[in-house]
């Protein structure tokens, strides 16, 4: 049986002008039974149309902050570095994919990209902008393979179907988060303070996005492994 081909959006080092991707992403996709292919950072809008047609599914990976102009805000003093090239490529690619109703998995920045493309907004810096009754290190002080906080998985969501647990333990390497959820998306996971940690699009074959990094957890965590498996299965259809 042919394996599904999954396109992964690339990381961008704006100083050295290199594109790259952490092996954890490709390893997780391979382990789920698919073939990961890193997409070109400088794909034109026209190329994005052809790329959308050419792959069975797409993983929007983690990375730097999206430019706040994309959701109509000024740059907050605590906003991080941006990659205008990556912003342009990803915001051109996602609508083309969605026209074709192909499966999408978003991880970390991927969730934020999906939310912004669909019309939502972001907290540019959680510590200075989001109320936290329980202090939580969303930039965890230890390695990604160790979970840092819990996520409450909402009932009647695809994420619940995948994880089969109302509470999961996740790692956390973000200082931005979804503020206003885009129209059409629903929340599927929240932290202890109610901060959005996962979202999905119900009226769509498969679009699931999480704020954490399951690519560092799947080897020891059944929920993270199930997430990649469900994505790869959706890409096989
Ligand atoms: Mn988090």
Over 90: is that where the pLDDT of 1 sits? no
Residue 237: its pLDDT value, please?
A: 81
SS3 100: coil
Residues 67, 174, 175, 213: which is the catalytic one?
Answer: 213
CA–CA separation, 116 and 137 (whole Å): 24
Q: Which of 108, 138, 149, 200 is catalytic?
A: 108
> Please, what is the Cα angle at 114 between 142 and 207, to 5 degrees?
95
**Burial annotation 23-47 (CB, 10 A radius, 16+ → b, else e):** ebbbbbbbebebbbebbebebeeeb
Distance CA(102)–CA(181), nearest Å, equals 21
Domain range 5-236, CATH architecture? 3-Layer(aba) Sandwich (3.40)
Give the SS3 label for residue 188.
strand
Q: Is 174 a known active-site residue?
A: no
The whole-model pTM stands at 0.98
Rounded distance between C-alpha atoms, residue 27 and residue 25, angstroms: 5
Which tens digits make up the pLDDT trace of 74-91? Answer: 999 999 999 999 999 999
**Mean pLDDT, the chain, integer:** 97
> Separation of 231 CA from ligand 1 center, angstroms?
21
CA 170–ligand 1 middle distance (angstroms): 7
Domain residue ranges in the chain: 5-236
Tell me the CA–centroid distance for residue 149 and ligand 1, in Å: 7
């Amino acid at each position: 049986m042919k394996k599904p081909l999954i396109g992964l959006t690339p990381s961008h080092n704006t100083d050295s002008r290199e594109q790259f991707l952490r092996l954890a992403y490709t390893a997780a996709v391979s382990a789920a039974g698919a073939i990961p292919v890193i997409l070109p950072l400088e794909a034109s809008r026209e190329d994005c149309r052809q790329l959308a047609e050419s792959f069975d599914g797409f993983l929007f990976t983690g990375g730097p902050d999206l430019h706040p102009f994309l959701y109509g805000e000024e740059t907050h003093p605590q906003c991080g570095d941006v990659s205008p090239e990556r912003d342009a490529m990803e915001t051109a690619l996602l609508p083309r994919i969605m026209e074709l109703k192909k499966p999408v998995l978003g991880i970390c920045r991927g969730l934020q990209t999906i939310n912004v493309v669909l019309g939502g907004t972001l907290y540019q810096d959680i510590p200075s902008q989001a109320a936290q009754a329980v202090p939580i290190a969303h930039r965890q002080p230890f390695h990604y393979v160790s979970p840092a906080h819990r996520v409450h998985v909402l009932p009647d969501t695809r994420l619940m179907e995948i994880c089969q647990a109302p509470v999961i333990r996740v790692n956390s390497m973000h200082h931005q988060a979804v503020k206003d959820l885009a129209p059409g998306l629903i929340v599927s996971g929240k932290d202890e303070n109610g901060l959005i940690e996962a979202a999905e699009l119900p009226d769509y074959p498969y679009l699931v996005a999480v704020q954490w990094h399951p690519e560092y957890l799947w080897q020891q965590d059944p929920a993270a492994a199930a997430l990649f498996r469900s994505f790869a299965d959706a890409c096989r259809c």
